[in-house]
Amino acid sequence: MDDRLYAFAKALGTLRRAVGKDDIPAVWLEFFIAVVQHGEAGVTTQELIGELGMSQGNASRIVKILSRFYNHHKKESDGLDLIVTAPDPHYRHRQRLFVSEHGKAVVAELKK
């Protein structure tokens, strides 16, 4: 098997186990790794849309899935807690995406 393909399959398995879900779309991993690659500076959703070639709606759904949010219907927190959002210091109406503490632990597992 190609080393890159094996690494991709291993990364998907690691992410799947870390978040406790059996079915993880590859686009979630792609999005998460793109946030990881931007490091401490973070990245905006708009920047990722351009880099990854996805729609605004799809990107917004993935941000919600990968972050932690309060689900009013379930009355509990939901989401994978892999990324966090914070206001952009230069543009107060824009949010930047960063890797959460849980996400950093997942990255450490991916690097093994």
Domain boundaries, the chain: 3-110
- Show pLDDT as tens, one digit a residue, over the chain (112 residues): 578 888 878 888 888 888 787 888 889 889 999 999 999 999 999 999 999 999 999 999 999 999 987 666 776 677 889 999 999 988 888 999 999 999 999 888 888 7
**Strands 69-71 vs 76-78: parallel, antiparallel or unpaired:** antiparallel
Note the pTM of the prediction, 2 decimals.
Answer: 0.83
pLDDT at 104: 94
pLDDT at 1: 55
Cα 99 from chain centre: 7
Burial class (CB in 10 A: 0-12, 13-18, 19+), 50: exposed
CATH number of 3-110: 1.10.10.10
